[in-house]
Amino acid sequence: MRLFGAAAAGSLFERYASAQAALTLQPLSDKITVLMGAGGNITILKSADGLLLVDAGLPNTVAAVLAKLKDVAPAPVKLLINTHWHYDHTGGNEELGKSGTQILAHVNCLKRLSATQHIAFFNRDFPALAEVGRPKQTFQDKGQLSFGGETVRYQYLPPAHTDGDITVHFANDDVYAAGDLHFNGMYPFIDYSTGGSIEGMIRNAATMLKAVGAKTKIVPGHGPLATKADLQAFHDMLADANEQLSKLIKQGKSIDEIVAAKPTAKYDDKWGNGFVKADAWLRMLHAGRTT
């Protein structure tokens, strides 16, 4: 499946890869901090024995991330949980694996990281990670562990952003890491090449809404810290965008006609300011629905 010409796809990738901000730390509790700006958001749980990370940023931010972690606690990273396989969430895997960090992920994430993957949206191949950076601990459905007195619950949700997406709930502090099942305030990238779908994103957003409360601190894969109301807005936008697109497809409209019709115009000012702009968002959704 090709969404764009090679030049356009390449520019989308470069836009994303170069759009990272300065690294910033946002404390959520005495034990939990979010590191933003390294690609996907990184959730950090500190204990007397070391750190637990949810996701590891881009490959080119590894050194900066490791340096920034020292501002949280001068302790080794004991455990890394990958929410899915994408390079902006697993870029630190190899470096952390070399230092002895244990890596946990869904079985489909391990499968994707163990072989070259092609993402049509970027028209780009992503090589397999070296063995040292691949998860050694995997699961099929869900699990729970204790780390520094915090109960950490991880849950696989059906294919949506990819076919290996998980959420991680720090139950004691009520912090919920949603990975790329939630892009807060921007149109999400949906990786149809590795099992994603707009329908899956909508269903999983509904599932996550049942898993969080009004006071839950939600860490999206991208964007600022979120609330349940933010997640509801994300779900509603996805559902409506999919409905509007479906109507135009049933009318036999071409993708160029759909883009010209601007069926998501009422959302574009709020959601179209991320790396996926409004036109690219429509073309991505159309390709996923018609190929």
Q: Taking Cα atoms as reference points, which of 147, 165, 179 lies closest to residue 45?
A: 147
pTM > 0.85: yes or no? yes
| pLDDT tens track for 16-68 | 554 456 899 999 999 999 999 999 999 999 999 899 999 999 999 999 999 99
* Calpha distance 280→246 (Å, rounded): 17
**What DSSP letter does each residue of 35-86 carry, written as one string?**
EESSSS-EEEEE-SS-EEEE----GGGHHHHHHHHHHH-S--EEEEE-SS--
Class of domain 6-290: alpha beta
Q: How far apart are the first and last CA of the chain?
A: 7
| pLDDT tens track for 253-269 | 999 999 999 999 999 99
Q: Taking Cα atoms as reference points, which of 221, 271, 220 lies closest to residue 241?
A: 271
Token digits for 272? 């179209």
